[in-house]
C-alpha cells in the first residue's frame, strides 16, 4: 500500500470528541487519504496506567469505534506513541516523574524517558500493550524523534555512544511491536544526526523522514540528501511534510505550500517507483490555533497524490478550495489575500521594522528571524497564564512597539473585511469561514491588549506622581485604570468565546480552555482592587512589581528573602 497519511497531533491539547474524529475520517476518505495517524502521547486513557491521561482524552472504546469507522472508509487508523523523547506527559505525573531524565519539572529533561531504567521501559511496553488492543492496523509508529536529552542519562559517554545506547533501546521496542504482528514506523532525524548508528538499527522498520522547511523564503531547501541516505541504507522510507501549524497562528502558508509541493516532488524523484508514501503532519494545534485552517493544504496534498502538477510558489489552490468546499466563485481569491495580510504581510512588516530599528533584532534572533514564531510565543504565553499583564508587558518591551502595533491593527482590519465577505458568501461548510472570521477578531483583540497595557503603565505612573499631591487628578487616573482593566477583560472575553468554539466545534480538550476565563476574572478583580488600594492610601509600588502580584493580595512593598529561612 502506498501510504497517503495525515498525522493529527492529539497529544498537544486535543480532546476526545468522537464526532470530530468521525468527520476527519470521512473528509480524508473523500480526498483519497488511506491512513490517519493519531499522535496520542498522554491524551489516551491507558487501561494499565490510568493516572497518565487527562480526563478529556480518547478512551479505548472510542478508539475501537473510530477504528471500525476508519476501516469502513478504507483508512487505517494508526497509533503514534513516542517511546523515548517527548515523554513529558509521563514525566509531569508525580508517580512516574522519576522515570524522566530530569525530575524537577522545570527543564526540558522532563520529556526524556530514562531509557536505561528497566522500570521505565516496562511502563512504555505496558502502554503499548493497551494500544495494541484498540488499533487493528498493521502499522505502529514508535516516534523516536528528538531524543535530545541523552546527556542527562549518560553523562559519562560521548554523543555517538549515547545514541548507540538509544538505538539498542529502540531495537527492543521495535522487536516488541513486531512480536504483536505490527509493522513499526519511526522518525529518522536522530539517525541523520548520528549516521554511524544506522548499522545497529533493526532493518525491518519504516523510516519517516521529516523536513518541515522552517524558512523556505530565506534559504535553500532540499531533502534529497536525507532521502538518498535512507534509500542507500536500504530502509523503506516515507516522506513527512507539514502544514506548519506548529510555528505560527494560524499557520505559515508559504512554508506549508512549499513543503508539500516541493518536498513531495523531491521524494518521488529520489524513490521513483520504490516510495512507500507521504505523511502530512499537523502538529500543535494550540494556543488559539484551529484545525479548520489546514484543510486547503490537505486538499493540495491530495491533488499531488493524484498526480497533479503544482507550483510550490502558487496559492491558486486556495481559490479551488473555497470554490469547491465553500461555494465561492471560481475567481474569488479572498482567502489568498487574507493569508497575504495575516501571515506574509505581517512577517514582511516586522522584518522591515527590525531593519529600521535594531532594538527589535534580539526578539527575532531568539526565534530564528521568524516573526510568525515570535507572535506564536506571545499567543502561547497569553493563553496559558492567569495573570497576563507580565506576558503582555514583556512582549511589548521586546518587539511590539507602537509602529508595529499600528501596522498589525491595519493588517488585521483589512483582513477582517475579507473574512466578513467570505463568511457572508459561503454557501457550504459555513463553519470554516465563520471560524476564520472569529479568529480574525481574536487577532485584533490580542493586538489591542498590548496597546491597552501600554496605557495602563503610563496611567499608573501618572497616578503614582499625583497620589498625595493632586486628589482629583489621582482619582481620574484610578478611574481610567479601572476602565483599562475592563477593556482588557473585554478583549479576553473575545478569546474566551473563541476557546468555547474550539472546544465544542473543534477538538480542544476541556482542561486547556480554562485559562482565558481565569485571565478575565483576574483582570476584573484588578479593576476592583485598584480602587480599594487608592481608598486605603497605600503608596503605589513600582509598576513591574505591581503587575506581577496576585490580584487578590493587598499591596506589598517589602522583599522577602527566602534564603534567610
Residue-wise DSSP of 189-232? HHHHHSGGGGGGS-SSSEEEEE---S-TTTS----HHHHHHHHH
Q: Mapping DSSP to helix (H, G, I), strand (E, B) and coil, where does residue 186 land?
A: strand
What secondary structure letter does DSSP report for 328? -
pLDDT at 107: 66
Per-residue burial over 204-237, b = 16 or more CB atoms within 10 Å of its CB, e = otherwise: ebbbbbbbbbbebeeeebebeebbebbbebebbb
> CA-CA distance, 59 to 57, in Å (whole number)?
6
> CA-CA distance, 244 to 370, in Å (whole number)?
13
E strand or H helix that includes residue 279: strand 277-282
pLDDT at 562: 42
Residue 303 C-alpha cell reads as 491533488
Count of C-beta atoms within a 10 Å radius of residue 136: 13
Residue 295 C-alpha cell reads as 484543510
> CA-CA distance, 397 to 383, in Å (whole number)?
19
> CA-CA distance, 267 to 262, in Å (whole number)?
9
pLDDT at 555: 60
> CA-CA distance, 182 to 128, in Å (whole number)?
11
> CA-CA distance, 505 to 208, in Å (whole number)?
31
Contact 484, 451 (CB under 8 A): no
Among left, alpha and beta (phi > 0; psi -120 to 50; other), residue 288 is: left
CA angle 545, 546, 547 (to 5 degrees): 95
- List, in sequence order, every residue forming a beta bridge with 241; answer none if it has no partner: 280
Q: Mind listing the pLDDT tens digit for each residue in 246-256?
A: 989 999 999 99
- Residue 296, classified by CB atoms within 10 Å of its CB into exposed (0-12), middle (13-18) or buried (19+), is buried
> CA-CA distance, 53 to 43, in Å (whole number)?
5
Residue 103 C-alpha cell reads as 525530575
Cell 529561612, residue located: 565
The radius of gyration of the chain from alpha carbons, rounded to an integer in Å, stands at 25
Helix axes 224-232 and 253-271, enclosed angle (nearest 10): 30
Cell 525491518, residue located: 204
pLDDT at 533: 86
What are the phi and psi torsion angles at 105 (to 5°)? 75, 0
Q: How far is CA 507 from CA 44, 56, 423, in A?
A: 14, 10, 22
Quick one: how far is CA 303 from the chain centroid?
26
pLDDT at 559: 46
Helix axes 60-72 and 18-30, enclosed angle (nearest 10): 20
* pLDDT beneath 50: ranges in the chain: 216, 218-219, 559, 561-565
Q: Is the dihedral of CA 105, 108, 109, 110 positive or negative?
A: positive
pLDDT at 534: 87
What secondary structure letter does DSSP report for 541? P
Residue 284 C-alpha cell reads as 500543535
Amino acid at each position: 500500500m502506498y501510504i497517503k497519511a495525515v498525522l493529527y497531533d492529539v497529544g498537544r491539547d486535543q480532546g476526545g470528541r468522537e464526532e470530530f474524529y468521525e468527520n476527519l475520517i470521512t473528509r480524508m476518505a473523500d480526498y483519497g487519504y488511506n491512513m490517519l495517524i493519531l499522535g496520542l502521547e498522554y491524551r489516551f486513557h491507558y487501561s494499565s496506567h490510568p493516572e497518565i491521561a487527562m480526563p478529556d482524552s480518547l478512551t479505548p472504546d472510542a478508539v475501537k469505534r473510530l477504528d471500525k469507522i476508519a476501516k469502513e472508509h478504507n483508512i487505517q487508523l494508526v497509533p503514534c506513541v513516542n517511546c523515548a523523547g517527548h515523554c513529558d506527559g509521563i514525566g509531569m505525573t508525580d508517580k512516574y516523574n522519576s522515570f524522566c531524565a530530569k525530575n524537577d519539572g522545570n527543564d526540558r529533561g522532563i520529556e526524556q524517558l530514562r531509557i536505561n531504567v528497566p522500570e521505565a521501559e516496562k511502563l512504555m511496553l505496558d502502554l503499548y500493550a493497551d494500544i495494541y488492543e484498540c488499533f487493528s492496523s498493521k502499522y505502529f509508529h514508535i516516534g523516536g524523534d528528538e531524543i535530545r536529552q541523552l546527556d542527562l542519562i549518560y553523562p559519562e559517554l560521548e554523543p555517538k555512544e549515547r545514541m548507540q545506547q538509544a538505538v539498542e533501546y529502540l531495537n527492543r521496542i521495535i522487536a516488541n511491536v513486531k512480536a504483536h504482528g505490527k509493522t513499526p514506523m519511526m522518525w529518522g532525524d536522530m539517525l541523520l544526526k548520528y549516521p554511524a548508528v544506522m548499522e545497529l538499527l533493526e532493518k525491518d522498520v519504516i523510516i519517516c523522514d521529516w523536513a518541515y522547511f522552517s524558512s523556505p523564503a530565506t534559504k535553500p531547501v532540499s531533502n534529497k540528501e536525507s532521502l538518498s541516505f535512507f534509500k542507500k541504507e536500504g530502509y523503506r522510507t516515507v516522506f513527512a511534510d507539514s502544514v506548519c501549524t506548529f510555528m505560527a497562528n494560524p499557520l505559515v502558508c508559504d512554508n506549508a505550500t512549499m513543503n508539500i509541493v516541493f518536498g513531495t516532488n523531491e521524494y518521488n524523484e529520489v524513490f521513483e517507483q520504490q516510495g512507500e508514501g507521504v505523511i502530512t503532519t499537523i502538529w500543535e494545534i494550540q494556543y488559539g490555533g484551529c484545525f479548520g485552517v489546514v484543510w486547503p493544504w490537505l486538499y493540495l496534498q491530495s491533488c499531488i497524490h493524484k498526480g497533479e502538477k503544482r507550483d510550490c510558489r502558487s496559492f491558486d489552490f486556495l481559490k479551488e478550495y473555497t470554490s469547491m468546499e465553500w461555494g465561492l466563485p471560481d475567481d474569488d481569491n479572498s482567502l489568498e489575500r487574507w493569508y497575504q495580510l495575516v501571515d506574509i504581510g505581517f512577517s514582511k512588516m516586522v522584518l522591515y521594522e527590525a531593519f529600521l530599528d535594531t532594538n527589535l533584532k534580539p526578539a527575532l534572533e531568539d526565534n530564528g528571524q521568524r516573526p510568525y514564531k515570535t507572535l506564536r510565543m506571545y499567543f502561547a504565553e497569553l493563553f496559558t497564564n492567569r495573570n497576563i499583564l507580565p506576558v503582555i508587558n514583556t512582549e511589548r518591551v521586546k518587539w511590539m512597539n507602537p509602529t508595529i502595533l499600528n501596522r498589525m491593527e491595519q493588517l488585521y482590519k483589512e483582513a477582517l473585511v475579507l473574512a466578513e465577505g467570505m463568511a457572508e458568501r459561503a454557501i457550504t461548510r459555513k463553519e470554516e469561514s465563520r471560524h476564520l472570521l472569529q479568529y480574525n477578531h481574536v487577532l485584533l483583540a490580542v493586538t489591542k491588549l498590548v496597546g491597552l497595557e501600554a496605557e495602563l503603565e503610563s496611567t499608573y505612573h501618572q497616578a503614582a506622581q499625583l497620589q498625595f499631591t493632586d486628589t482629583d487628578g489621582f482619582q481620574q487616573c484610578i478611574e481610567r485604570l479601572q476602565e483599562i482593566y475592563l477593556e482588557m477583560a473585554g478583549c479576553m472575553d473575545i478569546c474566551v468565546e473563541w476557546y468555547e468554539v474550539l472546544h465544542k466545534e473543534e477538538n480542544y480538550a476541556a482542561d486547556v480552555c480554562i485559562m482565558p476565563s481565569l485571565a478575565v476574572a483576574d483582570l476584573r478583580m484588578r479593576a476592583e482592587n485598584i480602587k480599594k488600594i487608592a481608598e486605603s492610601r497605600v503608596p503605589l509600588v513600582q509598576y513591574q512589581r505591581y503587575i506581577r502580584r496576585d490580584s487578590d493580595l493587598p499591596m506589598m512593598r517589602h522583599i522577602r528573602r527566602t534564603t534567610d529561612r
